[in-house]
Structure 1
């Protein structure tokens, strides 16, 4: 393509003056080739060292990371840890064995008590009356046994008298029989003697039955001790029960600990037998229940050392694995899971592990239900497991 240049019209073109070169200004000297070549040769070794250092870092850093990871993996696996752990203390439900109206309350909420301390009392008057009635019944039973012994003696005396009468009637009948056989008396004279003998024999039989009845009333042993008679033993048991009810009207602490939930216990309140009215937390027996996953149980053994960290306090406690639970927690639920159906999703189960706390640990601050983190030292790292140790 060619360009065509037209001449400018008059008035369109103007002259632009150009500046003249300053002859005094020196021209910039062009670097000589030998100098440039010298500088390049000096920088080349430094760049080579930098590249070598970079290559070493690129290789060594991943190796160090891999080695460190392998070291942590092989030396790890020795400790099994769970934060699903809680402080446990025995809890006793307090109730009265007998019914009654509260007459006295001796404790307040969260009060520390010792075993045997009186917690509250029920009105004892009805039970004192029952004890008096039982004492009277016992005395009556003893009197009855003595009367039975007298009746037995009377029956024996009646039997002896009847036996003597039989002997007399038998002798009279024998004489009459002899006279009849000799022809002195008629046969009709034997009727009265025979009838009298039969009556005497019947009296003996009756007296013998009376003796047997009196002996049976004495338990088959006429010489039985009065307090060994069944009727007396029954009366003594009734008295013991009445005395026990009287004693149970005073409710004592079954163990040492802290009383809780007694705010609703008031004087004048009627309490039915067996109704739970308060709780006692035993502070002298404390342990940890750690719920480990079933995948962590392979290396847990009774007697392994344990480190315990309670969330509420910074103190680190030490303990020992006491026992492993008999079944997972789901097995003791009200409605155990039925996994035989088709709608089944595998869920990792947890097994409760009983951990005792060393006696040297400070247990005063521990409260039942506190959360804790439990770490068990199995004594075997991953490397030991791989080597079969």
Structure 2
């Protein structure tokens, strides 16, 4: 047993010596240079790439401003009836395309037809009155002729009574009665002449409606008003576009004059109202090229240009403008509405109110 122990110890020590020799060899071998250079290059490349990306991004922002506070706008008209009444028929529906002059709905015409008939009756009455006045005694002068005849007779009677009074062959009462008859006949003549003047004035025409009696002109104006109201019972489209908000457009519903019941969105060119920060306006000018993108249509880009820059900020025209002169004041960057005109047709329908992203090239470049 004692003889075998040295052998076991020798066998176990041989691997250990081999390992130590290998470690000495590794220590003596020089380090590989390429691995160190790759590590150093990687350490330098990462910050250089970050710096280069930042510089590239900064340069990409130069010469343009953008905002996503922008929305598609389209001209729209709220249509209401100019006369009140009950809707008897509806000719359109939600989303329907209409042309200028197309019938939208009809209001009950019966009350306005009655007004038109009343106006016709008023014209006929005025014409009849004019005819009767023209043929009256006052206009014919018969009353004036009779009054002059009475004056002549009374004057002759007075002359006889005066001669008899001077000779003492008549009474004072008879003489005074003859005087009274002359005075009364003259007053009757004045009254007849006044009536004739009044009748002539009633048949006279003014400078506003030459050749037409005022009473007849008033009745004709009343008829025109009734005819206009009757025509307004048929409500037509004032422009071409698409019907929307037609939920109140129902047959049998009572409507009030001037209350909108339907809206027409115009088919004309759409535009975008972009609200840019006031700090973006330094280099912005009317006519500069722009690009519009839409949240609803990814990948759609439309060429456009700056059509106009608003005359005031959004808060300036709000219902309750900010009162910065009172209380604690915090400066807030204001937004100015800028109208962007679209220069090319859209492959997708542009709906009023769509969110969009607008980029304006302040350097004048198209891209």
Q: TM-score range by the shorter chain?
A: 0.7 to 0.9
Contact conserved, 2:138 with 2:195, CA < 8 A, in 1?
A: no
Q: Aligned-pair distance for 1:183?
A: 5.2
User: Which residue does the alignment assign to 1:372?
Assistant: 356
1:167-206 aligned at under 5 Å gives the runs 167=152, 169-170=154-155, 173=158, 179=163, 188=172, 190-206=175-191
Q: Aligned-pair distance for 1:71?
A: 7.3
Contact conserved, 2:290 with 2:306, CA < 8 A, in 1?
A: yes
Distance 1:202 1:91, change over 3 A: same
Whole-Å separation in 2 of the counterparts to 1:72 and 1:86: 26
Residues 1:239 and 2:223 are matched in the alignment: yes
Contact conserved, 2:158 with 2:179, CA < 8 A, in 1?
A: yes
Whole-Å separation in 1 of the counterparts to 2:151 and 2:348: 91
Whole-Å separation in 1 of the counterparts to 2:137 and 2:213: 15
Q: Could you say what secondary structure the match of 1:330 adopts?
A: coil
Contact conserved, 2:278 with 2:336, CA < 8 A, in 1?
A: yes
Whole-Å separation in 2 of the counterparts to 1:240 and 1:198: 52
User: Which residue does the alignment assign to 1:300?
Assistant: 284
Q: Could you say what secondary structure the match of 1:339 adopts?
A: coil
Distance 1:15 1:329, change over 3 A: same
Whole-Å separation in 2 of the counterparts to 1:87 and 1:174: 102
1:205-220 aligned at under 5 Å gives the runs 205-219=190-204
User: Which residue does the alignment assign to 1:282?
Assistant: 266
5+ residue gaps, structure 1: 1-13, 29-35, 382-389
Distance 1:142 1:63, change over 3 A: same
Residues 1:291 and 2:291 are matched in the alignment: no
Structure exhibiting the larger radius of gyration computed from Cα positions: 1
Distance 1:261 1:73, change over 3 A: closer
Q: Could you say what secondary structure the match of 2:71 adopts?
A: strand
Q: Could you say what secondary structure the match of 2:142 adopts?
A: helix
5+ residue gaps, structure 2: 19-24
- Paired residue for 1:78, among 48, 63, 83? 63
Aligned residues between the structures: 347
User: Which residue does the alignment assign to 1:334?
Assistant: 319
Structure 1-normalised TM-score?
0.74
Whole-Å separation in 1 of the counterparts to 2:145 and 2:347: 82
Q: Aligned-pair distance for 1:247?
A: 1.6
Contact conserved, 1:318 with 1:361, CA < 8 A, in 2?
A: no
RMSD in angstroms over aligned alpha carbons?
A: 4.0
User: Which residue does the alignment assign to 2:346?
Assistant: 362
Q: Could you say what secondary structure the match of 1:332 adopts?
A: coil
Greater CA drift, 151-160 or 261-270: 151-160
Distance 1:117 1:220, change over 3 A: closer
Q: Aligned-pair distance for 1:380?
A: 6.6
